Structure 1
């Protein structure tokens, strides 16, 4: 069983949907026959490894996460706050590492954490939402995003601090593009989302992983989960998944809870992307990229 789990993981990383599906089915049957992970006597490490491998496959292949006898919550209706709250706690304590998120980056996460925790009728929540409606509308009006062009040659990224700020800002735009529906912003366009994905990849690639891992693992994990949910190309989902897994061990948690929290965040973002795509399809404004991803979703 411990040998099959890595086969699920590496098959997913290779983009081999058929192989990963077969290995996962065999693994799930073995777990079910034994009565669940807790009865396998594999120890915490191997049980956690199995969870990670199956979760990675579900994210990359955009499939259902289902482990026998393990309670997997449904896709949340509101944005999960596990990571944003952890980001803000680390920012307040300023513990660990030689670099922390800038005040501007912290404000991005404060806005997201607030609207996720309070009723939309709260005056402060209304103000925050209005601020980000303006930011998203400005984004949609920009020529590069209207044309779906790559615009990743951002010469303002000259340091880790610049790269981290750019990644946080781009991920925040993706979050709000998912969070705000058509009542607030222009109809959803997959081409715009993929421009944001490419910009996010560029910013992440320009920053030192060592800096991310040592000082802002929660922010990096949250950003990569959003990137994975937003990406239409499987290779991009694999890229974000590989980055997502690296700093997770630095996040304070009990057992495998951080991985289930990762799934919650991804699952919410993935659900919102599909809802926005479906609404756009009904309006007859689907882009080619969106149609292709939609077909993949239906197959899953």
Structure 2
């Protein structure tokens, strides 16, 4: 990373327009102040260095059109150079497009690609997409998928669309997400709803771990058996809530973790799956249904199962 640029001589004032209205001030600052750590943004909010219409602001405050934000002088680190060729990005993403219009696009996210740079990565899917679409003025993630999960990923192309979609995702009744997962072992049930609260912890290493806990946030996943194999079970998992690692932890909680889940799975079972040819977590965001933020028509986007996972199921059947 290059050295930080010199701090500006004075604070800057930004007036919120109609397209930026409605979002939380912390999210606005994350987008506006690229290169500034989130921890520092929260620090200047808590200290009152950031002002809205002359007064202090809580991070959760939602901005209105016409609000004036004072941002103190900051050192903004220049972004690290992206050491990946546009050709490589194009090869991985260009054929992954599932749907696109003026407001949004949906990609079939490749497994092994983080949705954004960070944690030692110089680039992620969103940075790659900006390389692929240099003319796009706005591209922001609506939600996230784990690095090793493939499938439907929704990206907003307008601030107004992002605001509406975020509101939809906060209400689980408005967005329907279905996943395909291969569970370890033979699962006798045909269908069940796992209702178990989840609590997120961050270890000293910085790794996020989630566990079932009475004081966690409410979480529900509906599992439906699709096909039984000798040592595994293919299921459809429907998210009734949207918590971090929800399907992975809920499947672990019923004694059938997802195949090749290095964080929540069984080491012995994972080794057996690797010997059979599975190289990564068997979790795929198969479909995403929601109302279009502009036209209000129902969209149902489906992502075909990745060839490596489909081939592995064929080997299990033989």
TM-score (norm 2): 0.27
Q: Which structure features the higher share of helix residues? A: 1
Structure having the higher Rg = 2
TM-score (norm 1): 0.28
Q: Which structure features the higher share of strand residues? A: 2
